[in-house]
Amino acid sequence: MSSELQQVIAQSNIAFGTSGARGLVTDFTDEVCAAFAQSFIKVMLGSFSFTRVAIGIDNRPSSPQMAAACAGALESIGYSVDYYGVLPTPALAFQAMQDKVPAIMVTGSHIPFDRNGLKFYRPDGEISKEDEQAILSVSDALVSFVSALPATSSVASDNYIQRYLDIYPQQMLAGKRIGIYEHSSAGRDLYHTIFTKLGAEVTSLERTNTFVPIDTEAVTEADQQKGLDWSRQHGFDAIFSTDGDGDRPLIADEKGQWLRGDIVGLLCAKALGIQSLAVPVSCNTAIEQAGVFTTVVRTKIGSPYVIAAFANLTGSVAGFEANGGFLLGSDVTVSGQLLKALPTRDALLPGLALLALAGEQPLSKLTQTLPQRYTASDRLQQVPTQWSKDFLAKAALSPEELLTQLGQSARQIQSLDQTDGLRMQFVDGDIVHLRPSGNAPELRCYAESAEQVGAQVLVQVILNAVKGLLN
């Protein structure tokens, strides 16, 4: 008896978060992956005509089998599969947009390896929140299929490399010493090639076949220390890394200090001459204070919301998130060359743009030109999402009571923002923002202050207080 797609997905425990469908690997059975793939194509057929679908994966041990199930289902309903193997998510998205075909990226991004996910791309870019709901509502019967992967093509990876070699001078990085923290990043081989071709002396750091869940919004103390140690040992001009699927950058200056993602995004937008920006509400207020951009729009957290805001922006358009992922919303000219729009998170463009902007000066000099506003963020893991939602809903009704619970009763609230979670701006200029993660059972805390240490301490004080309430 055939299963209905909607029913298979509803019973799977897999849910859409801020970026794609996420869940435990054990819940991503072949049947569930096939149901998502078939439902996605049914939704795409309502707006596009195509005969092929692109698929790529990250380095998670579960990703090849999930991709094989998607590919098997697609071929069973009559579509050819362009399989690009392990590559960064933006590389897959870029190729699919050039070919005007839908794409599926098998990746859980930065979440632990016992989880995974599926990211979906329309022929013209990321799916919308409306597309997500449509995918969950397809009532067709699941086809019979055999899980199998076609031969791997390097076309998408090659074109992604060429995208950046075409716009930056061949010896732009001559004399620069660049470290690449490779870990298990899906783009680790590509990055080495690009930085080398641009003239840099490249050193590979900590390449591993064990999946490492790098979260660029919550860099661990161990990784912070690694950056400092590597810089002292090798005398790097910069260290470049990404999360697992290569759409969020992790960039350290010549001192080995990792730059905050929203500051990376701000500098990248400045380097590209962007006029209009869309950024999530969690990003640093230095973006507006810098006075560089004609328009800045704040959105809910998640790339679909940032992309949706592009429609109302004019001039050269871009967006970025607090994790540093940069979304190029319009074509721009770089070094006299056309760089086509890529409205999905990209980690490589910010890395190259910052080095180009810095020129001969140290990377750390770039941040000194910005308004001195500092952000920090961290998370409490294994916090039930519903608990977080209930906690914040109650807090919004009585924020003064919340401040007492958090040990912040001496503070005065200047404004509250419930665009996404609960963001409190205080009279002294400090900001605290709490929200449930859209990808995992976690409660995230963002803080902003006039001092870096102040922001870091504020995050830890708030999270320790919430942990006490949780217990």
DSSP state of 259: P
Catalytic positions are: 109
Distance of CA 369 to the CA centre of its chain: 26
Of 208, 258, 211, 249, the closest CA to residue 230 belongs to 258
Residue with tokens 């098998």: 106
Report residue 90 as tokens. Answer: 């933006």
DSSP lists the bridge partners of residue 342 as 328
Q: Which helix (H) or strand (E) holds 301?
A: none
Contacting residues for 120 by C-beta, under 8 A, at least 6 apart: 20, 21, 40, 102, 103, 104, 105, 126, 127, 131, 135
Report how far residue 392's alpha carbon sits from residue 53's, in angstroms, rounded to the nearest whole number: 41
Exposure class string for 235-267: b at 16+ Cβ within 10 A, else e: ebbbbbbbbbbbbbbbbbbbebbbbbbbbbbbb
What the block records as the tokens of 106 is 């098998």
Helices 30-44 and 63-76, axial angle in degrees (round to 10): 50
HSE-CB for 154 with a 13 A CA cutoff: 5
**Strand partners for 374:** 449
Q: How far apart are CA 67 and CA 273, in angstroms?
A: 38
Distance CA 360, CA 290 (A): 23
Give the whole-angstrom CA distance, residue 49 versus residue 62.
Answer: 31
Residues contacting 359, CB < 8 A, separation 6+: none
